[in-house]
Amino acid sequence: MKVRDEAATVWTLPNRLSIIRILFIPLIVFFISTQDDGLLLAACLLFIIAGITDGLDGYLARKMSLTSRLGLYLDPIADKLLVTSVLITLTYYHQVPLWVTLILVGREFLINGLRAFYAMEGIAVYPSSAGKIKTALQLTGISFILFNVSIKRVDVIMNQIGLVFIYGALFFSMFSAVNYLTALFRPTSSKQ
């Protein structure tokens, strides 16, 4: 009976939204890579929809009591895959500086690697508020940049606004990484 109950929680609405977000990624990257005006706009719209599902799935999971172990891991993986894939693609097309993308993506590998390690030990590492702010800033900044690229006006102000959000995300990314590392590697009082 327990296995059946656990299987039923796999296909909750929040988990489906996370899976949809993952399925959008190849389309968004392909649309960006075409450099076609219409498809760039479609990439921007799909990215915005994916960003909305990021906030919506967590809200619905809490509001409707649909949290699951799968959702605990699927939601952040979907976020990281979406943001890093699009950041790398935008960097390839010279819309985001390479050094920014390397730091943001490197941080994601480090923190998610540590989360996976601690998950094997039965310890859940939950996202911090700084990490949530970082994700919101990344989604907003990338949306501005994608929209700017899609309209082909190359509005310097709009592009700069997007980059300001990305730099803000970089700050919160480093801040939350330091907090995670400090918390994870802080010596316990039993060692003293």
Percent of the chain with pLDDT over 70: 90
Long-range contacts of 34-40, Cβ-Cβ distance < 8 Å, separation of 24 or more: 35/93, 37/150, 37/151, 37/152, 40/146, 40/149, 40/150
- As for how many domains the chain has, the answer is 1
Percent of the chain with pLDDT over 90: 46
Decide if pLDDT at 96 tops 90: yes
Which pLDDT band, with edges at 50, 70 and 90, does 190 fall under? very low
Cα distances from 70 to residues 77, 80, 151, 155, 178, in angstroms, run 11, 16, 38, 41, 26
Best CA proximity match to 170, nearest among 133, 145, 144, 143: 133
Q: Has residue 190 been placed in a domain?
A: no
CATH code of 133's domain: 1.20.120.1760
Q: Has residue 77 been placed in a domain?
A: yes
Burial classification of residue 114, based on how many CB atoms lie within 10 Å of its CB (0-12 exposed, 13-18 middle, 19 or more buried): middle
pLDDT digits (tens, 9 = 90+) for 132-153: 899 999 999 999 999 988 887 6
* H runs (alpha helix) in 35-97: 37-63, 69-92
Average pLDDT, the chain: 85
SS3 96: coil
Q: Has residue 176 been placed in a domain?
A: yes
pLDDT digits (tens, 9 = 90+) for 12-54: 888 889 999 999 999 999 999 999 989 999 999 999 999 999 8
Domain boundaries, position 56: 2-185
Q: Has residue 191 been placed in a domain?
A: no
Decide if pLDDT at 108 tops 80: yes
The b-or-e profile of 11-22 (16+ CB within 10 A means b, else e) is ebebbebbeebb
Cα distances from 113 to residues 77, 119, 177, 186, 187, in angstroms, run 11, 10, 12, 18, 20
